[in-house]
Chain A
Amino acid sequence: MQDSYKIISSSILYWFSQKKWFVFSIIFALIFISLPTPIGLSVPAYHSLIILFMVFILVTSEAIPFPAIALLALVLQVLLGVAPADVVASSFMNDAVLFVMGSLMFAIAIVHQGLDIRLAKIIISIFGKSKRLFLAGLMVVSAVLSSFLGEHTIIAIMLPIGLAIIKNVDSSTPDGKNAILLVLFSIAYGTIIGSIGTPSGGARNVIMINYLQEFTTAERIDYWGWIQYAYPILIIQLIVAYFVLQFAFPTSLDNVQVQGYKRSIAKSNSATNIRHLFSCLIIGFIIASWFLFNQELGLGIIALCGVLIFMICGMVSWEVINKNTNWGVILLFAATISLGFQINETDASSWLVGKFNELTSFFPEDSSFSWSFMAILTGLTANFFTSSATTSLLGPMAIELQPNDISFGMSAAIASGFSFLTVISSPTAMIVYSTGLVSIKIFFRVGLLMFSSSILILYLVSKFYWVTL
Chain B
Amino acid sequence: MPTLARSLDEALATIGDGTSVLIPREGAGVAMAATCALIRRGVTRLTLIATPTASLQADLLIGAGCVEAVEAAAVSLGEFGPAPRFTAAITARAIAMRDSTCPAIHAALQASEKGVPFMPLRGLIGSDVLAHRPDWRVIDNPFGNHDPIVLLPALKPDIALFHAPLADRDGNLWIGQQRDLALMAHAAAKTVVTVEKLHETNLFEDPLLAAGALGGFYLEAVAVAPRGAWPLPLPDHYPADEAHLAEYARLAATPEGFARYLDQYVHERRAA
A and B bound?
A: no
